[in-house]
Amino acid sequence: MIRLHDTASGQVRELEMRDPGKVSIYHCGPTPYDVPHVGHGRNTLFYDVLHRYLEWRGLDVTLVSNVTDIEDKIIRRSIAEGRSCADVVAEFEAIHWSAMDRLGVLRPDHVPKATQYVEKMVAFIDELIGRGHAYETSDGVYFEVRTLPGYGLLARQPLDSLRAGARVEIDEDKREWFDFALWKKAKPGEPTWESPWGPGRPGWHIECTVMSLDLLGDGFDLHTAGDDLTFPHHENERAQAVGAGHAFSRHWTHHAMVEVEGQKMSKSLRNFTALTDLLDHTDARAYRLLTLRAHYKSPFDVSPDTLADAESGLDRLDAFARRFADVPAIPDPATVEKFRGFMDDDLKTPQAVAVIFDAVNAAHKGDERAAATVFELTGAVGLDLKRAPQAVDAETQRQVAEMDDARQARDFARADAIRADLVSRGWVVESGPSGTVVHR
RNA sequence: GGCGGCGUGGCCGAGUGGCUUAGGCAAGGGACUGCAAAUCCCUGUACAGCGGUUCGAUUCCGCUCGCCGCCUCCA
């Protein structure tokens, strides 16, 4: 049994599967209008760890994560830079996937795009109007929130306690400030599609409703994303689905944000680090380890200090992997069970990581099954340890040989000089009774 | 104003009504090594503050202080 936090009930509860043994997951993906930042990295690592772990558990996972390829910020950028929206999307989506590849994030099974679903969205909006949940105005079609009993499930507070923020757009045509756009009628310079309400484009929330139901079917198992999307985005997705007569996601799991000096990392606060920059300076696996060391519901700080901390931990794992690369043993069932107990219980990755490090310690003390266990468990969460010896260039190999010769000859001054040179060029030099090994 | 979360040892970060009270990083001491590296051994006695419940609270309750998130685009 897998237990996960469920935002709708506010509790950790069993992940019930519509079809036993199969898990259908929809995860809100990126809007490629700019480079991804470190928080997006956490976001994809969250679904990747979930995805990999569930499959490791023997479950058949279908993961859908969309790309929003038509949206205000994309349009703004395309106009500012005098190029098409498709061009903007192509550039930043490519950067997104390349960063995810570097992070070792597995591709979702389906990556639907909003622009491929416009026709289905139009039909869905039409259905909502027909059922009395939506109305047309001079500038679009809106969902009438008051018509849907139960709105506020994910916000976990009644509709009338929500406060109209100072920056909510005033729109005289809308019946209530919290009604939200299903369809936006065309403005000059924007890409448009035909609809019964004239040319225009879909609102943001409708795509996820339509694509998730289309690819995963009614009553799919799990909907995930960062917790900043809980309200209003997910609330609205759900309202649309329910309003049109569909059973929507049965379980909602949201992860916390990455922070910088205690504040949420975000584009608008301008306190973000581009994910690509982080990956240029930090081992991607260290970032994965950093995310695993905090529970997914807890925010954590990304800073040079916390990253360096994680890299040191990773070094210990890699040192372990080099030493035990060829261990023939099979994993220890009791340790695997302990790990599974933590992971099954709401993905308690900090405890799971502790189990891994305990096994590393046991291995160094001679427990071969513990060594095999480490490889098994790091694999389950997508941490790829460096078992294979690293390629060493010819010149470095020559130096290593020369150094060992000098040590043989007890010419330690010369050996130390060579070592110093290797170290200064970034090599970690390990000399043992059987000779010297270098790695980076 | 509403809703929610958090405050743990030098740092990150789990957890628990009392039991030998995670794990990582860093630090100090020791072992091993020609020296290093890797590894091993040892050391730290923490739970914001004030009350309350209790035989006993870091863990439960209340209050205070501080911090953060959502209610607006946002992973």
Q: What is the pLDDT of residues A48-87, one digit of tens each?
A: 999 999 999 999 999 999 999 999 999 999 999 999 999 9
Instruction: Answer whether any strand B atom is within 7 A of the Cβ of A168.
Output: yes
Residue A332 has pLDDT above 90, yes or no: yes
Instruction: Answer whether any strand B atom is within 7 A of the Cβ of A334.
Output: no
Query: Strand B: which of residues 95-134 in chain A lie with Cβ below 7 A?
Result: none
Can you tell me the mean pLDDT for A317-345? 93
Residue A268 has pLDDT above 60, yes or no: yes
Q: What is the structure's pLDDT at A97?
A: 97
Distances, alpha carbon A276 to alpha carbons A38, A102, A280, A282, A307, in Å: 8, 9, 6, 10, 15
The C-alpha angle A248, A139, A267, rounded to 5 degrees, equals 65
Q: Which nucleotide is nearest to A255 (CA to C1')?
A: B75
Instruction: Answer whether any strand B atom is within 7 A of the Cβ of A402.
Output: no
Is CATH 1.20.120.640 the right assignment for the domain spanning A282-380? yes
Q: What is the pLDDT of residues A404-435, one digit of tens each?
A: 999 989 999 999 999 988 988 888 898 888 78
Q: CA A354 → C1' B55, Å?
A: 35
Q: CA A365 → C1' B29, Å?
A: 21
A3-258: CATH number = 3.40.50.620
Instruction: Answer whether any strand B atom is within 7 A of the Cβ of A316.
Output: yes
Q: Which nucleotide is nearest to A419 (CA to C1')?
A: B36
Residue entry with tokens 């130096």: A399
Residue A164 has pLDDT above 90, yes or no: no
Q: Do domains A3-258 and A282-380 have the same CATH topology?
A: no
Distance between alpha carbon A330 and the CA centroid of its chain, in Å?
Answer: 31
Residue A23 has pLDDT above 50, yes or no: yes
Instruction: Answer whether any strand B atom is within 7 A of the Cβ of A325.
Output: no
Instruction: Answer whether any strand B atom is within 7 A of the Cβ of A303.
Output: no
Q: What is the structure's pLDDT at A101?
A: 97
Residue A167 has pLDDT above 50, yes or no: no
Q: Which two tokens stand for residue A377?
A: 């468990």
Contact A317, A385 (CB under 8 A): yes
Protein-proximal positions, strand B, CB < 7 A: 1-4, 11-15, 22-26, 33-41, 67-75
Q: Which nucleotide is nearest to A260 (CA to C1')?
A: B68
Average pLDDT over chain A, rounded to an integer: 92
Domains of chain A, by residue range, sit at: 3-258, 282-380, 394-439
Contact A54, A343 (CB under 8 A): no
Nearest to A128 by CA among A179, A71, A53, A52: A179
Instruction: Answer whether any strand B atom is within 7 A of the Cβ of A348.
Output: yes
Q: What is the structure's pLDDT at A166?
A: 43
Residue A235 has pLDDT above 50, yes or no: yes
Contact A28, A233 (CB under 8 A): yes
Report DSSP letters for A36-102, one per residue.
Answer: -BHHHHHHHHHHHHHHHHHHHTT-EEEEEE-B--S-HHHHHHHHHHTS-HHHHHHHHHHHHHHHHHH
Neighbours of A273 (CB within 10 A): 19
Q: Which nucleotide is nearest to A230 (CA to C1')?
A: B70
Q: What is the pLDDT of residues A315-327, one digit of tens each?
A: 999 999 999 988 8
Q: CA A350 → C1' B45, Å?
A: 23
Q: What is the structure's pLDDT at A168?
A: 52
Can you tell me the mean pLDDT for A331-340? 95
Which residue type, as a one-letter code, is found at position A232?
P
Count Cα atoms within 13 angstroms, Cβ side, for A300.
25
Nearest to A346 by CA among A383, A297, A282: A297
Kindly report which listed range (A62-66, A169-173, A177-181, A371-375) carries the lowest average pLDDT score.
Answer: A169-173
